[in-house]
Amino acid sequence: MAPLQQKIKVLECCQVSPPSGSVPSTILPLTFLDIPWLLFSPSQPLFFYDFPHTTSHFKQTILSNFKTSLSFTLQYFFPLAGNLIIPPQPALPHLSYTSGDSVSLTIAESTADFNQLSGYNQIRGVQDFHQLVPQMPKNCDLLGIDQESRYSLLAVQITIFPECGISIGFSLCHVAADERTFNNFLKVWAAIFRTGLELYLPALNKNLPYYDRSVIRDTNGLEPILWKQWWNQICLPKLLVDNFDMVRSTFVMGRPDMEVIKGWIMSRSEKLFGSVQLLLSPYVITCSYIWVCWLKANMQHIEDPIEKTEPHYFGFIAGGITRLGYSVPVTYVGNCIAFGRAMARRNELLGENGIVFAAKAIGDTINELDRNVLGGVENWISDWKVFCGSGLHITVTGSPKVDLYSLDFGLGGPRKIEEISIDNTGSVSLCESREMVGGIEIGLALPLAKMEAFRVLYNEGLKIFPKTLPRDMG
C-alpha cells in the first residue's frame, strides 16, 4: 500500500520539567512487578482530536497551556520526567529523578490527510503513523551494557494538521508505569489543562499519586529470581516485526455481536466440556474471536495446518490492584499487573469449535489469576521467550476498561486512538469503543495479504456465526 503523501515539519523541540524546586531528587527501586517490563519496547499511544484551526491559532491560543499544564502534572507524576538507570552488574536498575529532569516535547506540523489517518474504515500503511509519535530506545537497544546507562521514560509529540485537527503521541517506557498509572497521568494533565491547577487542586489533593514501593510485598522472594532471569535474557536477540509493507486497521466488536457469539459458545460448550461453566465476559468473547481469526489469517499458506496438535499461546495482562489480597492505592505510581498466558492446541483452534476452545483457555487463565494472581511469577520472563520465538503466538495490549475516549483537553474526546507500537511487536491493541456503548475496538497491524484475510474471516464470521465458524473463509 502506497503511503499517504505526508510531510512533517518540526516547529519546536523543548524540554518540560516540573516547576523548579517542586520535587526533590528521588531514587525509586524497581519492584518484582516492574522487572519484566524492562524487556518490552515503549508503548506509543496516539490520540487524534478535531481542531479546525490554523497552526498559528494553535500556537497563539493553547500551546502555552499544553506546556504549563504538563509541567504542573509532572510535579505530581515526577517519575515520568526521570530516567531509567541501568548500572553495570551487580548493581540493580532503578528509576531516578533529579531536579531539572524533563520530558521531551516536540511540536510538529503535518500535510497528511487527517480524516484518513483518524478514520475507522480505511486500511492504512503503518509508516503513515511513525512520524506522529516520538522515538525512544527499543528493548533490543538495552544490550551490551558495560557502563551506567540512562534512558528517558516518557516523550510527547503534538502534531498539527492545519484546519483539521491535532494528534498527541507518546512513547512510554512501561517499567515506570502500567496503563492504569499512565491513564491517571493523562486524566490529571487534561483536567489541569481545562481548569488550571488552582481550581483542580482540591480534587487532586484527595487522590494524590502514591510512590512508596514498599506497598508491593515480595513475600515469596521473587525479585532476585526475576533479576537473574532478566540479566540472562537481556543478552539474547529480541524478535521485532519487520513492518515493511504492513498496514493498520481497526475492527469494532459490539455488544450485539458479543451476545451472538456467547450464545453460540454456550450451545456447544456442554457437549465439549460437560457441565463446566465458562467465563464469558465481553473481554473473553472478543479475545477468543480475535485469536481464532488471527491464527487462521496467519496460517493461510501453511500446508495441512489443522492436523497439527502443537500448542499456541495467547498472552495478555491482568490488573493486580484488586487481586493481590492486600490494599494497594489506586493512585499507586508503578506497575501492578500480572501476565496471563492461555494455551490451546492448533487443531482445536482451527477446528469448527475453535472459538469455544479459545474461550475456555482464556477464561480458565483469568479464573486462575483471580485465585492466585502471582502464581507462576517466577516464569514470567522465561515464558515471555515463547512469544518471541514464533510468529504464531499472539499477545494483546491495552484494556477496554481504561476509558481513554473520555480524555478531554478542552477539545472534546478523541476522534480516534491508535497504539503505534504494535507495528513492531506484532501485538493486538484493545480499547473501549468510542461510538458503541460496551463495545471494544481492536487495532491490528499485519502484512496486507494477512490483513485482508483477517478482515474476511472477522466480518464474514460474524454474519454466519449462529450457524458455524468456518475453518477457512480465506
Query: Can you name the residues that pair with 440 across neighbouring β-strands?
Result: 253, 432
Q: Assign 139 to helix, strand or coil.
A: helix
Whether residue 185 lies inside any domain: the answer is yes
User: pLDDT under 50 in the chain at which residues?
Assistant: 139-140, 143-144, 236-240, 467-474
Contact between residue 391 and residue 298 where contact means Cβ atoms under 8 Å apart: yes
Q: Is 174 a catalytic residue?
A: yes
Among candidate residues 181, 198, 233, the one where a domain is terminated: 233
Among candidate residues 177, 205, 233, the one where a domain is terminated: 233
Q: Are residues 354 and 401 in the same domain?
A: yes
Contacts of 34 (CB under 8 A, 6+ apart): 175, 176, 334, 335
Quote the CA–CA distance of 93 and 344 in Å, as a whole number.
36
Q: What is the pLDDT of residue 122?
A: 82
- Where does residue 118 fall: left (phi above 0), alpha (psi -120 to 50 degrees), or beta otherwise? alpha
Query: Can you name the residues that pair with 47 across neighbouring β-strands?
Result: 168, 417
Q: CA 264: distance to chain centroid? A: 30
Whether residue 315 lies inside any domain: the answer is yes
Among 424, 443, 382, residue whose Cα is nearest residue 41 = 424
From the CB of residue 90, how many other CB atoms can be counted at a distance below 10 Å?
7
Range of the domain at 154: 6-233
Q: What is the pLDDT of residue 357?
A: 97
Q: Which of 50, 113, 383, 408 is catalytic?
A: 408
Q: Are residues 253 and 222 in the same domain?
A: no
Among candidate residues 233, 264, 295, the one where a domain is terminated: 233
Q: Are residues 331 and 213 in the same domain?
A: no
Whether residue 268 lies inside any domain: the answer is yes
Q: Are residues 393 and 316 in the same domain?
A: yes
Contact between residue 315 and residue 394 where contact means Cβ atoms under 8 Å apart: yes
Q: Are residues 169 and 271 in the same domain?
A: no
C-alpha cell at 334: 508503578
Q: Are residues 223 and 251 in the same domain?
A: no
Q: Output the furthest CA–CA distance in the chain (Å, rounded).
A: 66
Q: Are residues 411 and 387 in the same domain?
A: yes
Q: Are residues 300 and 375 in the same domain?
A: yes
| Phi/psi of residue 148, nearest 5 degrees | -60, 135
Angle at 276 between CA 274 and CA 281, to 5 degrees: 130
Q: Are residues 118 and 250 in the same domain?
A: no
Task: State the total domains in the chain.
Answer: 2
Computed over its alpha carbons, how large is the radius of gyration of the chain?
A: 22
Q: Which segments of 69-163 are extended strands (E)?
A: 83-86, 94-97, 103-110, 124-125, 149-152, 154-161
Contact between residue 110 and residue 131 where contact means Cβ atoms under 8 Å apart: yes
Q: What is the pLDDT of residue 235?
A: 52
Q: Are residues 292 and 393 in the same domain?
A: yes
Q: Which of 94, 174, 312, 393 is catalytic?
A: 174
Whether residue 297 lies inside any domain: the answer is yes
Whether residue 469 lies inside any domain: the answer is no
Torsion angle of the four alpha carbons 21, 23, 27, 33, in this order, in degrees rounded to the nearest 10:
-160
Q: What is the pLDDT of residue 3?
A: 58
Whether residue 423 lies inside any domain: the answer is yes
Quote the CA–CA distance of 209 and 188 in Å, as a whole number.
10
What type of residue sits at position 403? D
Q: Are residues 327 and 266 in the same domain?
A: yes
Q: CA 194: distance to chain centroid? A: 26
CATH number of the domain that residue 457 is part of: 3.30.559.10
Specify the pTM: 0.93
Contact between residue 248 and residue 121 where contact means Cβ atoms under 8 Å apart: no
Q: Is 408 a catalytic residue?
A: yes
Q: Are residues 286 and 392 in the same domain?
A: yes
